[in-house]
Amino acid sequence: MSKFSAQVSLLFIVVALVGAFVPVFSVDEGEVKTLWDTCLVKITPKCALNIIAVVFGNGTLSDLCCSDLVKEGKLCHDTLIKYIAYRPSLIAHETEYLKKRDEVWNHCVSISKTL
């Protein structure tokens, strides 16, 4: 039960991070609902946070998280990173983050083919 509670807590943290990083003026309500309904339920909160840490910082990504990312799909990955990268305080480095997003995706696809 404790493990389940921890996972639920991490899920809420991911949702809070996404909400905090999403600029209100660029969010289409339908896209946010789609992101929640089809994307965030496919990946563990821990992996979501690790992916964000890799794209926007110096995090590391496990093979298991790469597998989850590929299962989540490129559209979901691109959408989540786009929302965070378009935050006003990050927009100046948007190109770097989108490049890193693509590098992470390509790396995970290549790893998932060997698993």
Q: How many domains does the chain have?
A: 1
Q: Is 82 a member of any domain? A: yes
Domain span at 79: 26-113
Q: Does the residue 103 lie in any domain?
A: yes
Q: How many CB atoms neighbour CB 114 within 10 A? A: 6
For the stretch 45-99, pLDDT in tens is 899 999 999 999 999 999 999 999 999 999 889 988 888 888 778 878 888 999 9
Q: Is the pTM of this model over 0.95?
A: no
Closest listed residue to residue 42, CA positions, set 99, 80, 4: 80
Within-domain flag for 18: no
Amino acid sitting at position 39: C
